[in-house]
Amino acid sequence: MKTTYIRFAALQLMLLFVLSASAQDFQVTKFKENLFDLTAASAAVKDNNGDECALIRFTVQDSNFDFEPNLGVVQMTRKKGEIQLYVPQKTKMITIRHAVFGVLRDYRIPVDIEAKTVYDAVIAVNPEALAAYKKGRERVVYVNAAFSAMSIMGPSLGVGFNLKHHNIELGCLFGLNKTDDLFVYDTAGNLREGYAYSVIRPYLRYGYQVDLGDFFSVIPQVGFAYNMYRGKKADIVSTSYDDYKSAKTTSLTLSARLQFDLNRHLKVHLTPEYDLGLSKDDNYKALSADSKFKSFTEGFGLSAGAIVYF
């Protein structure tokens, strides 16, 4: 059973990498020499060899682009709507990166880069991608693959839907670990039964996304979980009773997802969570008298994972 869950978790990760692969959402639409701009000549910015640099003015719709020319960057200034890049003469290629819009690798500059010369360039972002980045997409379906630690350890898979900053997620946690053997005795002190329990936990959560920067957000979440505990008969018990036994509860879950945007489609998160038991069946009530079982089923948890947005 454990091997099956591990394979399932590995399949989730492979699926995430396939789904997150996409081309960049921008292109360089203009790159030409500006014969009337003398800024580079008057600034006299020099490279490590003491040679004067060229100035490339990138007109941008977002200032979070990064640049890696093949001869390096001597000086860079970010302004609203523009990024100024001083580069050595004879620079031939530039790799342009953006955490959300992707990467344009080894863009070949269409003109010769000369010292003390200014060049005007324009980076145009796909309008749909730009609108999604600045305002948040109106409707977004996503898949969340995670691994939970703390008391319950195992993979989880969820499917969610966003409406502006609101999201609803439906998923399931598959517990890999088990409790220690838990024994129940009758009033006379005689052993009645003993089982080791694992859990499968379907859940439903609602969250509201609070953006704390261009690439980081916190999503407080509240939800409900239906916990299905399956007990396997302890090996050392020889009394005659069922090989398997179940216990069921519902619980209230409170969590705070810390989400980091890697690009427009792929996010990673770390999510602390607290689980508070609500309704409990009779077998659960009997088992929860054991503090080891109660700490396994309720309390704090922590998960980390990746989210793919469609």
The pLDDT tens digits of the residues spanning 58-94 come to 999 888 899 999 999 999 999 889 999 999 999 999 9
Q: Higher pLDDT residue, 127 or 144?
A: 144
> Which tens digit of pLDDT belongs to each residue from 248-292?
889 999 999 999 988 778 899 999 999 888 888 887 777 776 666
> Which tens digit of pLDDT belongs to each residue from 132-183?
776 654 457 899 999 998 778 899 999 999 887 899 999 999 988 777 777 7
Q: Could you tell me if 246 and 222 are in contact, meaning their C-beta atoms sit under 8 angstroms apart?
A: no
Confidence of residue 127 (pLDDT cuts 50, 70, 90): confident
CA–CA gap between residue 210 and residue 98 (Å, rounded) = 22
Confidence of residue 192 (pLDDT cuts 50, 70, 90): low
Res 185: pLDDT: 65
- 3-state helix, strand, coil split of the chain in percent (to 5) is 15, 55, 30
CATH number of 2-20+133-309: 2.40.160.20
Q: Where are the domains of the chain?
A: 2-20+133-309, 26-125
DSSP 89-142: TT--EEEEEETTTEEEEEEEPSS---TT-EEEEEEEE-HHHHHHHHH--SEEEE
> Which tens digit of pLDDT belongs to each residue from 232-249?
777 665 555 666 677 888
Q: Could you tell me if 85 and 78 are in contact, meaning their C-beta atoms sit under 8 angstroms apart?
A: no
* Portion of the chain with pLDDT greater than 90, in percent: 49
Tokens of 152: 């319950």
Tokens of 63: 């200032």
For residues 208-222, give the mean pLDDT: 89
Element (H, E) at 187: none
Res 20: pLDDT: 43
Burial of 32 (0-12, 13-18, 19+ CB in 10 A): exposed
Instruction: State CA 232 to chain mean position distance.
Output: 35
According to DSSP, the residues that pair with 141 across neighbouring strands are 161
The pTM (predicted TM-score) of the whole model is 0.56
